[in-house]
Amino acid sequence: MKSTIAILTIALLFWQSSDVQSTEVSQCTDVSFPTTVEIEDCAEQPCILHINTTTSMTMKFKAPKNLEHIVPIAIAEVMGMEIQYPLDQDDACAGIVNTQCPLEEGEDVEYTFDMFISPIFPKINLTLEFSLLDEDQDDSAFECFKVDLQLE
């Protein structure tokens, strides 16, 4: 009986993990690149996000140093202009799901963020640069990726 339960548990975990796909993203210049990025329902660029919905994003990385105060920032590049994308989260520690701040250098970190695509946004293509900043070191970026998005 115990072996049957163990086999079913392993099969369920495998089935759940096989449903999650990493998203193909681009690296930022001079900043560490996450181990994995997963954007809901998106395996490759451009990711199609639907206006007036919420999309989940998960970023996995190794803490490059000891970190205590972390801030998320998103910059949208649209028609040659850079615009800060409004986030409803000022403290990235609130989005860390597998551990808690402060982080130790080398620690595996899983950060999740839900992004609402506001109905005020037009249908448009853009590049989004998402970074985590070390608030204790002059807001220097320590993890970053870029992804092409299509808002529909």
Greater confidence (107 vs 13) lies with: 107
pLDDT at 107 over 80: yes
pLDDT value, residue 85: 85
Length of the chain measured in residues: 152
Residue ranges of domains in the chain, CATH in brackets: 22-151 (2.60.40.770)
Which pLDDT band, with edges at 50, 70 and 90, does 151 fall under?
very high
High-pLDDT (> 90) share of the chain, %? 70
The per-residue pLDDT of the chain, averaged, comes to 86
pLDDT band at 142 (very low <50, low <70, confident <90, very high): very high
pLDDT at 100 over 80: yes
Q: Given this model, what pLDDT does residue 20 score?
A: 56
Rounded to two decimals, what is the model's pTM? 0.82
CA dihedral 32, 33, 37, 42 (to 10 degrees): 130
Burial 74-100 (b: 16+ CB within 10 A, else e): bbbeeeeeeeebeeeeeebbebbeeee
Residue 85 in tokens: 């994308």
Tell me the per-residue pLDDT of 21-76, one tens digit each, with 9 for 90 and over. Answer: 799 999 998 899 999 999 999 998 999 999 999 999 999 999 999 999 999 999 99
